[in-house]
């Protein structure tokens, strides 16, 4: 099943990037937006898999990764933080070794997401993403966004940017509660399943990361369109015939 899903996704992504017209993948012609997201997803899954599959005292690499994650989790475990919220959802009387493992996995997942967010923010700020020497195609990179409806495109892009940023900040607080409620409703053994732990903690940070990156990207595109509009307005004003003062 895993191989089938992986091959299906590989064919889908290959067809999307080979197509000339817009599809479903956003920012496919504005690297490295999708590369940063996929690399963060891979790193999170890889590092969490190392930690969750290692038994106590058997893997030096797992111990190092878990210790680093524990350091991050303890630094971020303060009241009303996402880390504190996810740890409070754990049942009482949990095995101390499993608790430390979950702490380390949560810390690693959060660290990967924060680093990825900083990298993309630096690309936007310092390298003027997505400037690549040619015009940015809104139709190809935002296939679900119709620039011809709903009023001014700049206002709509900035509104969508703010919505994505707000959702990105709120999602880490909402996902643990929703996950616990769903697990209790279907009576699923989350803590005893390594796959559920790895994917759950990965999605806990990957979904907010995607929303925050999309918010930053749409805000950047809105600024690019506003700057382009201002230059065109200034050029039209410069080319307009100037009134000649009549002698008195």
Q: What is the pLDDT of residues 172-231, one digit of tens each?
A: 998 888 887 777 666 566 677 888 889 989 999 999 999 999 999 999 999 988 988 888
Measured between alpha carbons, how far is residue 6 from residues 9, 39, 198, 206, 246 in Å?
5, 16, 17, 18, 76
Give the residue among 171, 157, 142 at the shortest CA–CA distance from 215: 157
Mean pLDDT of the chain: 85
CA–CA gap between residue 156 and residue 20 (Å, rounded): 26
**Helix (H) or strand (E) run with residue 200 in it:** helix 194-239
Please, which residues have CB within 8 angstroms of residue 121's CB and are 6 or more apart in sequence? 216
* Number of CB atoms found within 10 A of residue 90's CB: 16
- State residue 54's pLDDT score: 72
Q: Where are the alpha helices (DSSP H) in 127-193?
A: 138-141, 153-186
pLDDT of residue 185: 65
Q: Where is average pLDDT lowest: 73-77, 88-92, 208-212, 225-229?
A: 88-92
Q: Is the pTM of this model over 0.85?
A: yes
Among candidate residues 210, 237, 231, the one with its CA nearest the CA of residue 41:
210
């Amino acid at each position: 099943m895993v191989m089938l899903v992986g091959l299906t996704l590989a064919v889908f992504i290959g067809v999307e990037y080979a197509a000339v017209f817009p599809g479903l993948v956003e920012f496919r012609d504005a690297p490295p937006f999708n590369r940063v997201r996929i690399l963060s997803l891979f790193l999170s899954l890889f590092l969490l898999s190392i930690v969750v599959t290692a038994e106590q005292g058997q893997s030096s690499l797992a111990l190092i990764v878990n210790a680093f994650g524990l350091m991050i989790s303890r630094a971020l475990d303060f009241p009303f933080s996402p880390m504190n919220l996810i740890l409070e959802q754990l049942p009482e009387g949990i095995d101390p070794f499993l608790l430390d493992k979950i702490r380390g996995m949560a810390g690693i997942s959060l660290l990967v997401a924060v680093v990825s967010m900083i990298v993309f923010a630096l690309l936007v700020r310092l390298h003027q993403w997505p400037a690549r020497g040619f015009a940015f195609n809104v139709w190809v990179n935002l296939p679900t966004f119709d620039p011809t409806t709903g009023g001014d495109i700049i206002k709509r892009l900035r509104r969508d940017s703010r919505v994505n940023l707000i959702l990105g900040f709120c999602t880490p607080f909402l996902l643990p509660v929703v996950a616990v409620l769903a697990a209790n409703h279907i009576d699923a053994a989350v803590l005893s399943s390594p796959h559920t732990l790895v994917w759950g903690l990965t999605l806990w940070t990957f979904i907010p990361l995607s929303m925050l990156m999309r918010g930053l990207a749409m805000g950047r595109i809105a600024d690019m369109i506003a700057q382009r509009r201002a230059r065109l307005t200034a050029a039209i004003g410069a080319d307009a015939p100037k009134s000649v003062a009549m002698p008195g």
